Amino acid sequence: MGLFVSGVSPAGFAQDSKQETENGSKPLSVLPLEDLRVFTKAYDQIRNAYVKEIDDRTLLEHAIRGMLDELDPHSTYLDASSFEDLQVNTTGEFGGLGIEVGIEDGFVKVIAPIDDTPAARGGVEAGDLIIKLDGVSVKGLALDKAVEKMRGPKGSDVTITIVREGVDKPIDLTLTRDTVKVRSVRSEIKTEQIGYIRIAQFQLHTGDDVAKEFAKLMSKEPDLGGIILDLRNNPGGVLQASVDVVDHFLEEGLIVYTEGRLPDSNSRYEASPGDISKGMPIVVLINDGSASASEIVAGALQDHGRALILGTRSFGKGSVQSIIQVTNDRALKLTTALYFTPNGRSIQAEGIEPDIQVERVRVTAVKPRSSISEAGLSGHLENASKNEKNTKKKSKSSSNTDLQNTDSQLYEAITMLRGLNLLKQKEKKEIPNNKVASKQK
């Protein structure tokens, strides 16, 4: 989710109903009086005749919510509690289950569970539809109300009922609420000369954190030959953070641009000189839980030919939400622009198509047939160049098989980078003249 924090000014109320635009048509800002009368009549009837008495402030807030809920899944009204939660979320600490959600067909859809949270540990997956909370249907419930029901005191339980593609029956999961502290970036050396950087969510300081984690990798492995940037199940976050991440790996060029109706919504973000990896090969992992800011990173690196994108098609959230404060403690989260990759691709409802399509699967080894090799023959000659390296390679085969079964996409990314490194090494290596076999006559 891209965030622009901006002020608000009175707009949309035309002083002259005869005002026209340059092409002679009436501007959209002119309020149709007849429709406005319909609204006031409906408001008056609800205010006076509804079975329960509702104060004017509550009714007006309902009206605002209704307008925003009908626009798109990401526009919403933020009351005092929701506004505070949003501000806290950008810093990476909040209470709840740890799920990034949206609305689909009236139900709450999981965009992605956040790493190391009750939702991730409890088995919630990207693409799940939440149909009930503690046995009560969420059909038609506003997104902020559904999120509010999932929030609660640390240590308290909530049962969510989900529908998952490929599973015949709904699944009940009982999760214990906790203080969710999202660690934006982590890294490790996955194998020889290959570094791994995982971005769970784009927060205010994610760009700086990526640079720090890369420096740690280089200190552990000075001969680092490739990076895996894991954006799977990353629901997005702060737009500027995604720009900062891309900027670390580009020397120059456009990263992303946005287009909207207001001048402030039209922006271009360019890379500054300096690639911290100095052109090192990069593989970016994405899946259907990679959304918004994740797609900005994947799309920019893909368009510049700076990285290979591996995995499955991303979520397809190509819109930017502005946080427009209307009072001291209330705001609108309003979709104000669409973002585009450097090559002009809109990701909205399309997503990023990976360069290499790899589904996450479990691999079952085929039982080998009984066979005999030279080494099995009685009296065979020993290999003269046999050394400790051969033994070390054999010892790694079991760990590689484990990774292939637990995370086949990561396994393929590592295999790809290892292949690239081997090719580079072969290009540098020359065969000594004294070992060139002479042609037999």
d(CA 331, CA 388): 65
Q: What does the CA dihedral 245, 250, 252, 256 come to, rounded to 10 degrees?
A: -40
Q: Which two tokens stand for residue 181?
A: 């502290």
Burial 251-267 (b: 16+ CB within 10 A, else e): eeebbbbbebeeeebeb
Active-site annotation, residues:
292, 303, 317
User: How many secondary structure helices (H) and strands (E) does the chain include?
Assistant: 10, 20
If we measure between CA atoms, which residue out of 315, 111, 151, 102 comes closest to residue 160?
A: 151
Cα angle for residues 210, 187, 360 (degrees, 5° grid): 110
Question: How many C-beta atoms surround the C-beta of residue 142 within 10 A?
Answer: 17
d(CA 193, CA 21): 62
Q: What does the CA dihedral 378, 381, 387, 390 come to, rounded to 10 degrees?
A: -50
Burial 363-397 (b: 16+ CB within 10 A, else e): eeeeeeeeeeeeeeeeeeeeeeeeeeeeeeeeeee
If we measure between CA atoms, which residue out of 302, 178, 188 comes closest to residue 250?
A: 302
Q: What does the CA dihedral 294, 236, 184, 150 come to, rounded to 10 degrees?
A: -150
Q: What does the CA dihedral 203, 207, 209, 213 come to, rounded to 10 degrees?
A: 140
If we measure between CA atoms, which residue out of 317, 269, 264 comes closest to residue 290?
A: 317
